[in-house]
Amino acid sequence: MVKLSIEQEIEIPPHMLQELVRAEVVERIKNEQLAMSITLNDLVKLSGVSKSTLEKLFVPRPETKAVEYRVGTKRLWLYPEVREVWREFLYNIN
């Protein structure tokens, strides 16, 4: 095993740098897209609650509808606004 210190110089081949930069750019673009709006499937992942439970208990609420938009047949929710609506929902069910 080789130990590296912060001061130690390392050589990174240009093709590896390009791959690392490309992966970071793709990840940041993905995160920026999520910062604008999310789908119901994203809500499932973020909340940890099933789609049917969200459809039944969370989506019909006026607060949730206030941050919902339709693009064609797709429903989208503003993010991070829907996150705050979800937090309020959780605080109020207890």
pLDDT of 1: 66
Per-residue pLDDT for 34 more than 60?
no
Per-residue pLDDT for 2 more than 70?
no
Residue 38, classified by CB atoms within 10 Å of its CB into exposed (0-12), middle (13-18) or buried (19+), is buried
Confidence category of residue 77, pLDDT binned at 50, 70, 90: very high
The pTM score is 0.63
Average pLDDT over residues 39-65: 96
Residue whose structure tokens are 């119901």:
40
